Amino acid sequence: MKVAIIVGTRPQIIKAGPLIRALSKSGDFEVEVVHTGQHYDYQLTKLMFEELSLPDPATNLNVGSGTHAQQTADAMVGIERFLEKSRPSAVIVPGDTNSALAGGLASTKLRIPFGHVEAGARSYDMSMPEEINRRLLDHCSGLLFAPTENCLGNLVKESVPGRPILTGDVMYDSYLEFQDKADSTNQLDLLNLEEQEYAVLTVHRAENVDRRDRLESILTAVRLAGLPVILPLHPRTRKAMAECGISPESVPNLRVIDPVGYIEMLCLLRHSALAITDSGGVQKDAFWSGVPCVTLRENTEWVETLQAGMNTLVGTDVQKILAAVQLWTAGNERPKPSALTHPFGDGHASERVAEALAQYTSGVPGDKQLQVALAKGPKA
């Protein structure tokens, strides 16, 4: 049975890794990767494919950057053309990007069953393009693979027409698989960093980087915090800083580096004192690493990290960022990862996706062991 996986951005490529392996290993599926080309810089795409030993995409649609409508529409047209030719039995769409939305809409309209991986994540903030994408995807997907119980609950509350299934988080599968390899890359020596004596900063969200005042607040807080901060710089942020004349070099304790691969990023996070970020994925990677996180947003879809006391929402207010950073770096003992709860599953989410997909496409109703929560009956 042929299954197409739609990717386009860095986090989707990371999520596709364990899915490709689980689907291929099950023996039931032939996997085709469709890359929309939303991300095209070497560090954001090709590097991930190489690091994670992923098969080359069956096609790259080269949609590139553009307005949301342009990017989504171009990806939809390309995906539709590909799916019409290839006719897979099912499509898998990880994440919440414009490429994900394009994949979900194109599949639904061609009546090819599609499964949404990371279903049910909600920030309840419709000013985020990803929140719009997530909601639309979850309301046209046949199978909804929920990473946490909270996500599953959101889907049930919304009475989505497809079938929600609690699988665990495929990114946690990936984290567990690569954590040892990450440590062996020895980023600390390469970058001359001391164990737990630096913070990792990532910032790329439009609402932060397209606003000069917010970018300045973040950098001011970093400067006042004083500890060494390492910033792998997303191309969007680099451009935004250049356009509004902000120089990260003016912050003496900030070290800007090119975007790093997934495995290098895990190494940097795992040995840091804390993460400062506006990314969804980094909040979870920090949580799994037992590293506290200061989130440069007013809300998060990953409420599990807040409930565990490992994440603080601070927005971009200088004093709030500073207070949270100081709280975590003032010698408080860090919670040990083993003492943390594991709301993101057991590292076998991708296998559950493969199993549920095999059942779904062969019309077999859900298996109790998969913790299937039926919103409505299975669809043929």
Q: Show the site string, 20-39: x = touches ligand UD1 by CB under 6 A, - = not.
A: ------------------xx
Task: Please choose, from the candidates 118, 113, 115, the residue with its C-alpha nearest in 3D space to the C-alpha of residue 174.
Answer: 118
Cα(248)–Cα(73) distance, rounded to whole angstroms? Answer: 35
| Shortest Å, Cβ 132 to ligand UD1 | 9
Q: Show the site string, 328-357: x = touches ligand UD1 by CB under 6 A, - = not.
A: ------------------------------
| Shortest Å, Cβ 171 to ligand UD1 | 12
- The tokens for 103 are 């994949």
Q: Show the site string, 264-303: x = touches ligand UD1 by CB under 6 A, - = not.
A: ---------------x------------------------
- Name the catalytic one among 35, 116, 204, 271: 204
Size of residue set near ligand UD1 by CB under 6 A: 18
- Tell which positions 63-82 bind ligand UD1, by CB under 6 A: 65
| Shortest Å, Cβ 236 to ligand UD1 | 3
Q: Determine which residue in the list 46, 211, 223, 236 makes contact with ligand UD1, applying CB under 6 A.
A: 236
Cα(213)–Cα(12) distance, rounded to whole angstroms? Answer: 30
Cα(287)–Cα(270) distance, rounded to whole angstroms? Answer: 10
| Shortest Å, Cβ 305 to ligand UD1 | 16
Q: Any bridge partners for residue 231, and if so which? A: 256
Which residue's entry shows tokens 């409508």? 69
- The tokens for 249 are 């070099």
Cα(310)–Cα(269) distance, rounded to whole angstroms? Answer: 14
Q: Determine which residue in the list 2, 25, 30, 41 makes contact with ligand UD1, applying CB under 6 A.
A: 41
| Shortest Å, Cβ 105 to ligand UD1 | 14
Q: Determine which residue in the list 130, 138, 169, 173 makes contact with ligand UD1, applying CB under 6 A.
A: 130
Q: Determine which residue in the list 7, 9, 246, 359 makes contact with ligand UD1, applying CB under 6 A.
A: 9
Applying CB under 6 A, does 11 fall inside the site for ligand UD1?
A: yes
Listed in sequence order, the residues at least 6 apart from 249 whose beta carbon sits closer than 8 Å to its beta carbon are 256
Q: Any bridge partners for residue 116, and if so which? A: 93, 144
The answer to whether 1 touches 36, Cβ cutoff 8 Å, is: no
Cα(123)–Cα(147) distance, rounded to whole angstroms? Answer: 15
Cα(75)–Cα(372) distance, rounded to whole angstroms? Answer: 32
Applying CB under 6 A, does 235 fall inside the site for ligand UD1?
A: yes
- The tokens for 170 are 């495929």
Nearest CB to ligand UD1, comparing residues 133 and 312: 133
Measured in whole angstroms, the distance separating CA 335 from the mean position of its chain's CA atoms is 24
Nearest CB to ligand UD1, comparing residues 105 and 166: 105
Give the H or E element holding residue 196.
none
Applying CB under 6 A, does 129 fall inside the site for ligand UD1?
A: yes
Angle, CA 166 vertex, CA 16 and CA 32 arms, to 5°:
25
Nearest CB to ligand UD1, comparing residues 126 and 380: 126
- Tell which positions 203-222 bind ligand UD1, by CB under 6 A: 204
Task: Provide DSSP, 101-132.
Answer: HHHHHHHHHTT--EEEETTT-----TTSHHHH
Is 342 known to be catalytic?
no
Q: Determine which residue in the list 97, 108, 148, 167 makes contact with ligand UD1, applying CB under 6 A.
A: 97
- The tokens for 190 are 């390469």
Q: Which residues are catalytic?
A: 204
Please give the residue ranges that form the binding site for ligand UD1 (CB under 6 A).
9-11, 38-41, 44, 65, 97-98, 129-130, 204, 235-236, 239, 279
